[in-house]
């Protein structure tokens, strides 16, 4: 089991550029989520999905799009990057049980200049 | 709504000292409670969890007890090591996962 994988590990963008952060899991988990982590802010939920074809907004969705065409993949798209999106991004997955553990990827460190 | 409040850091301890990181929660329904640990440059990984009141989670010498009467899930370790230096997050599941803001722990030799 690779668990939750994310690519790339590091990325530098210029303001206005677009990119997609990739996330994949091989545990057949229904739930997948994207978080951003900023100093002093903890983890903030961007978007989440409870299954293929179903996505919903989290706490800080503006500027980000997601789709879930398969159980395994949950990419996060930045349509027009802004310096405020400089952050560390984590993808996570879990099963639907109430006490099930959420598993995290290693993160993508994004800098927007 | 559901939320988690945890002790702010940073916390600095000497090796072999006793550790407590406080965590309290607000939840509707029947939450499960978690402690995650994040080592520098890595993602979060599960440290321990408890899925019902009075359950005790334990791992690697760390312990936490789900106390419904005080809505708490404090993390403890009797003797910390340098390798325990990391950021610790308390979390609960309701409809979603809710995380505290994290507590940075540094253990000095």
Q: Quote the pLDDT of residue B8.
A: 84
Distance CA B106, CA A24 (A): 32
| B24-63 tens-digit pLDDT | 999 988 899 999 999 988 899 999 999 999 999 999 999 9
| B63-105 tens-digit pLDDT | 999 999 999 999 999 999 999 999 999 999 977 889 999 999 9
In B27-56, the residues whose Cβ lies within 8 Å of chain A are 30, 32, 34, 36, 42-46, 49, 51
pLDDT > 90? residue A96: no
| A60-86 tens-digit pLDDT | 999 999 999 999 999 999 999 999 999
Pick B97's closest partner by Cβ from A102, A105, A107.
A102
Strands A87-94 and B62-65: unpaired
B-chain residues within 8 Å CB-CB of A99? 32, 49, 51, 93
Task: Name the E strands within chain A.
Answer: 4-7, 10-13, 19-25, 31-38, 42-51, 54-57, 64-66, 76-78, 87-94, 103-104, 108-112
Place A2 in a pLDDT band, splitting at 50, 70 and 90: confident
Place A10 in a pLDDT band, splitting at 50, 70 and 90: very high
B59 close to A (CB below 8 A): no
Spatial contact of A92 and A33, defined as CB atoms under 8 Å apart: yes
| A26-37 tens-digit pLDDT | 999 999 999 999
pLDDT > 80? residue A40: no
């Amino acid at each position: 089991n690779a668990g939750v994988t994310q690519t790339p590990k590091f990325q530098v963008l210029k303001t206005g550029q677009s990119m997609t952060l990739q996330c994949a899991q091989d545990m057949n988990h229904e739930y997948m989520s994207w978080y951003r982590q900023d100093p002093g802010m903890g983890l903030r939920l961007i978007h989440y999905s409870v299954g293929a074809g179903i996505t919903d907004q989290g706490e800080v969705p503006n500027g980000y799009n997601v789709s879930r065409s398969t159980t395994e993949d949950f990419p996060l798209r930045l349509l027009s990057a802004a310096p405020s999106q400089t952050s560390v991004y984590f993808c996570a997955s879990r099963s639907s049980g109430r006490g099930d553990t959420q598993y995290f990827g290693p993160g993508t460190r994004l800098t927007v200049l | 709504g559901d939320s988690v409040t945890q002790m702010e850091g940073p916390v600095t301890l000497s090796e072999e000292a006793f550790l407590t990181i406080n965590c309290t929660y607000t939840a509707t329904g029947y939450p499960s409670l978690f402690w995650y640990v994040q080592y520098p440059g890595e993602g979060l990984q599960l440290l321990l969890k408890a899925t019902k009141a009075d359950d005790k989670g334990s791992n690697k010498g760390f312990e936490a007890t789900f106390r419904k009467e005080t809505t708490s899930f404090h993390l403890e370790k009797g003797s910390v090591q340098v390798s325990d230096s990391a950021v610790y997050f308390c979390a609960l599941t309701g409809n979603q996962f809710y995380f505290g803001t994290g507590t940075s722990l540094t253990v000095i030799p």
